[in-house]
Amino acid sequence: MKFARLAVLVSPRRHPEMLTRRRALAIVALARGLALLFAGLTLAWVAVDYAVFDPALAGRLAVVRLIAVVAFAMVWGMPPRAVSGLASAYARLLALFAIPAVFHVATQEILRTESVEGLARGIAAAYSLVPYAIAAGIAAFPIVIVECAILALLPLGLLAGTTLRDATLVGNAIVLDAFWLLFLITGASTFAAMSQVRLLAALIRQATRDPLTGCLRRESGAELLEAQFRLSQRSGTPLTVAFADLDRFKAVNDAWGHEVGDQVLSAAARALRESVRESDLVLRWGGEEFALVLPDTDAKAATRLVDRLRERGAGQRPDGRAVTLSIGIAERRADATPTASALVDLADQRMYVAKQAGRNRCVHSCGGEARIIFDLP
| Gap between the Cα atoms of 133 and 217, Å rounded | 41
Q: How far is the CA of 367 from the CAs of 22, 237, 334, 340, 363, in angstroms?
A: 42, 20, 10, 22, 13
- Residue length, the chain? 377
Backbone angles phi and psi of 115, in degrees to 5? -115, 115
Q: What three-state secondary structure class fits 239?
A: strand
User: How many Cβ atoms from other residues are within 10 Å of residue 278's Cβ?
Assistant: 4
Spatial CA neighbour of 241 closest among 327, 312, 323: 327
Q: How far is the CA of 64 from the CAs of 67, 71, 100, 225, in angstroms?
A: 5, 11, 11, 48
- In the chain the first and final C-alpha atoms are separated, in Å, by 31
Spatial CA neighbour of 289 closest among 337, 344, 223: 344
DSSP string covering 281-307: EEEEEETTEEEEEEET--HHHHHHHHH
| Gap between the Cα atoms of 221 and 285, Å rounded | 9
| Gap between the Cα atoms of 312 and 328, Å rounded | 19
Q: Is 288 a catalytic residue?
A: yes
Single out the catalytic residue among 219, 288, 311, 331: 288
Catalytic amino acids? Answer: 288
